[in-house]
Amino acid sequence: MSTARTTAILNIAAAKNTDSDPCDGSQKKYGNLSELFGRNVFTLDAMRERLPRDIYRQLEPTVLKGERLPASIADAVADAMKDWAIDHGATHYTHWFQPMNGFTAEKHDAFMTPTPNGQVINEFSGKMLICGEPDASSFPSGGIRSTFEARGYTAWDPTTPAFVIEGPKGNTLYIPTIFYSYTGEALDRKTPLLRSITAVSKQALRILRLFGNTSATSVEPKVGAEQEYFLVDKRLAALRPDLLLTGRTLFGAKPAKGQEMEDHYFGAIPERVLAFMQAVEHRLYTLGIPARTRHNETAPAQYELAPVFEGANIATDHNMLTMDILRRVAEKHGFLCILHEKPFASVNGSGKHNNWSLCDSDGNNLFNPGDTPRTNAQFLVFLAAVLRAVHLYGVSLRLGTIGAGNDHRLGAQEAPPAIISVYLGEQLTQVLEGIIQGEDKEHESPRKSIEIGVSCLPPLPLDTSDRNRTSPFAFTGNKFEFRAVGASHSIASVNMTLNAAVACALDDIATELEKQVAAGTPINEATRDLLASLFKEHMPVVFNGNGYTKEWEEEAARRGLPNLKNTVTALECYSDPAVMNTFMRHGILSEREILARQEILLNGYVQSINIEASLTSSMGRSTLLPPALRCQTEAGKAARLAKTLVPDEGSLPEERHFLRIRTHVLGLMQALDALDEARALLKNPGDIFQRARIARDTVLPAMAECRLHADALENLVDNDAWPLPKYAELLWLH
């Protein structure tokens, strides 16, 4: 018997022989990378070329520092942008924004305007550039906007560049914007990110000034987001409604071979995948996105793309574009690109390591220890600020990593635990302990060397960090790597929370130091005393050991570190006054915006579990039960026949086979009934917190029970009759 599944498998196998060879020289290569890179970006250089000099001079502070755009030059800037875009094939423009649904949004308008004499001209005014009013009533607002006054506005964000996206019959100019309500509240993820960048810059500058730095004019968070993803052949994915609709497999037995041989990680990249990666990079380069690293990840069919780090605002846009381009190009190459945090049980899920640092406007990374961190007081102050931020505002940071998908991953022995601690490495921890104990003597340079036992190589400097992959927040030499972020997440939220928390800590420290200095204490002395007490206070957040162990969970509890194991528990804390204060203190979010966000995120959680549960129910009943019942009938017949042939033999293997199938068929039917009852509870009107708890505590376990029986049936039912592509095929066949 042939099923759609077997046909797909055979087609994939056959295509392997007939696909054109991507490396046979017939394909176009990248060409000149420096010409390609940023080709579709309206860069500062492009602005300088196209604008009269005095207008460019007035515009520059807006682009570089986010200063207010002088109204008098708006039309000229719009005109230059339009001409540039038309020269790059654009017929349309769009205000591009990042609403709270976690995706990007766009509505295209043509430049074309009809004239009275029946012709058209291209038109684009300063007003059209600066402000838009999409009919945006369907975006989540958490009650900030009711539908009858559905006005939401978009406003140009000149601090991240406009760009052109190529389309089949013409191109479109994308203008990055923020999205806010009639009453001025943020309805997107970008507005609070921008506010947080301003806040952390202001507080960091206070510290720099205390250390005598008079030249830096701003401090910018820098971000490099490593993006993990899975690729599955489209012919198989098309037969998995769960992958298509929810981004993860709701059913699927553990395959005989998963990742245990560790033969995929950093393995040779399959040619078909390489062709895909290069096509992705080509598009990224035209948009000025500096994709640098590509490799196979831990799980079979899992890959990673990492860019060179950029300013947090641009890095956020670039990551959104990267995720979009990965999905689109995958389609063209016959793949489904999966960004979900846990698409497959039994192998690793996907995260997004968010590398973060602070850099001043003179180009100095403030987390660079220099040669002697012991004496590098400024570095230690910034380090203390991060420890304080993570220790005091760990709950806020955890909120940057929530999501129904990430709940399957955090704390599951493959990703960091939900406890947010900091990894510093042995060496730096020793330095901190020395400071706490008031050791005054100068250390020898702490950059110890390690002999690696190969005589032809010089001793290698010991990295100030090693590679403890179990820590959610690791200091890796001159940056922090926040590893708890989910692969599908917008990095706007995590960086907003990080900036907000660090701004609070820097504010506390600067206030104390300024007070001491004003009272006549020399800055070095004031710093030494303050550092000793700060490191002492915040040492409990430092943990260099294995974060996957039960002992750490217990130890963390003794240290008073929160362990918010899932999205609902974390969101319940969003409205705690101390947590709200992290965001409100520097005006990053208002109370109303926070409460709206809490509601939006809880709603999103309930919706996504509801969709998964509804699909589990329908797939269970209409896709999996029918072949299982047929199999049960066949097995029953075989058992009866055996019994008539050998009536005296006691328990027969045919009977045991039948009973095994029957157990799981019954189990699945009962579990599906229980799931439907649980789903009905979700529909009860009521408090969103209560519904979220039902989703977590009743619906998810009911889904797991269905899966348990269905996965057992997958290994019992006639292989040819099983309708869903199996894990071995999804993970290994491409």
* 222 is a contact residue toward ligand ADP (CB under 6 A): yes
* 307 is a contact residue toward ligand ADP (CB under 6 A): yes
Question: How many CB atoms sit inside 10 A of residue 55's CB?
Answer: 18
Q: Is 306 or 534 the residue whose CB approaches ligand ADP more closely?
A: 306
Q: Provide, rounded to whole angstroms, the least separation between the CB of residue 81 and Mg ion.
A: 36
Whole-angstrom Cα distance, residue 694 to residue 702?
11
> Under DSSP, is residue 222 helix (H, G, I), strand (E, B) or coil?
strand
Q: Provide, rounded to whole angstroms, the least separation between the CB of residue 507 and ligand ADP.
A: 22
Amino acid at 107: K
Q: Are 702 and 612 in contact (CB under 8 A)?
A: no
* 281 is a contact residue toward ligand ADP (CB under 6 A): no
Stretch near ligand ADP under the rule CB under 6 A, chosen from 138-146, 247-255, 307-315, 595-603: 307-315
| Residue closest to ligand ADP when measured from CB atoms | 224
Whole-angstrom Cα distance, residue 494 to residue 178?
17
Q: Is 355 or 493 the residue whose CB approaches ligand ADP more closely?
A: 355
Binding partner at 396 among ligand ADP, Mg ion, none, C-beta below 5 to 8 Å by kind: none
Q: Is 299 or 716 the residue whose CB approaches ligand ADP more closely?
A: 299
- Report the relative pairing of strands 152-156 and 302-307 from DSSP bridges: unpaired
Stretch near Mg ion under the rule CB under 5 A, chosen from 131-139, 352-360, 598-606, 658-666: 352-360
Q: Are 84 and 45 in contact (CB under 8 A)?
A: no
> Under DSSP, is residue 721 helix (H, G, I), strand (E, B) or coil?
helix
Binding partner at 307 among Mg ion, ligand ADP, none, C-beta below 5 to 8 Å by kind: ligand ADP
Number of residues that bind Mg ion (CB under 5 A): 1
Stretch near Mg ion under the rule CB under 5 A, chosen from 123-131, 172-180, 353-361, 536-544: 353-361
Residue 731's nearest CA partner among 298, 299, 332 is 299
Which residues have C-beta within 8 Å of that of residue 669, sequence separation ≥ 6?
625
Q: Provide, rounded to whole angstroms, the least separation between the CB of residue 226 and Mg ion.
A: 5
* 224 is a contact residue toward ligand ADP (CB under 6 A): yes
Residue 614's nearest CA partner among 678, 669, 567 is 678
* 734 is a contact residue toward Mg ion (CB under 5 A): no
Residue 164's nearest CA partner among 225, 81, 105, 226 is 81
Query: Where does residue 114 rank: exposed (0-12), middle (13-18), buried (19+ CB within 10 A)?
Result: exposed
Residue 34's nearest CA partner among 286, 315, 317 is 286
Stretch near Mg ion under the rule CB under 5 A, chosen from 74-82, 351-359, 460-468, 702-710: 351-359
Binding partner at 663 among ligand ADP, Mg ion, none, C-beta below 5 to 8 Å by kind: none
* 365 is a contact residue toward ligand ADP (CB under 6 A): yes
Whole-angstrom Cα distance, residue 398 to residue 400?
5
Q: Provide, rounded to whole angstroms, the least separation between the CB of residue 471 and ligand ADP.
A: 12
Distances (CA, A) of 20 to 100, 272, 404, 655: 42, 10, 40, 52
Token pair, residue 608, equals 């996504």
Handedness of CA 689, 582, 409, 238 (dihedral sign): positive
Of the chain, the end-to-end C-alpha distance in Å amounts to 24
Question: How many CB atoms sit inside 10 A of residue 680's CB?
Answer: 9
* 353 is a contact residue toward Mg ion (CB under 5 A): yes
Q: Which H or E run includes 374?
A: none
* 88 is a contact residue toward Mg ion (CB under 5 A): no
Q: Provide, rounded to whole angstroms, the least separation between the CB of residue 397 and Mg ion.
A: 18
* 240 is a contact residue toward Mg ion (CB under 5 A): no
Q: Is 295 or 640 the residue whose CB approaches ligand ADP more closely?
A: 295
* 478 is a contact residue toward ligand ADP (CB under 6 A): yes
Q: Is 354 or 598 the residue whose CB approaches ligand ADP more closely?
A: 354
Binding partner at 478 among ligand ADP, Mg ion, none, C-beta below 5 to 8 Å by kind: ligand ADP
* 226 is a contact residue toward ligand ADP (CB under 6 A): yes
* 306 is a contact residue toward ligand ADP (CB under 6 A): yes
Residue 404's nearest CA partner among 349, 335, 325 is 349
* 355 is a contact residue toward ligand ADP (CB under 6 A): yes
Q: Is 223 or 530 the residue whose CB approaches ligand ADP more closely?
A: 223
Whole-angstrom Cα distance, residue 730 to residue 240?
10
Residues 320-349 that bind ligand ADP (CB under 6 A): none
Binding partner at 137 among Mg ion, ligand ADP, none, C-beta below 5 to 8 Å by kind: none
CA 308 to chain centre: 16
Binding partner at 250 among Mg ion, ligand ADP, none, C-beta below 5 to 8 Å by kind: none
Binding partner at 369 among ligand ADP, Mg ion, none, C-beta below 5 to 8 Å by kind: none
What are the residues binding ligand ADP (CB under 6 A)? 222-224, 226, 306-309, 355-357, 365, 476, 478-479, 481
What are the residues binding Mg ion (CB under 5 A)? 353
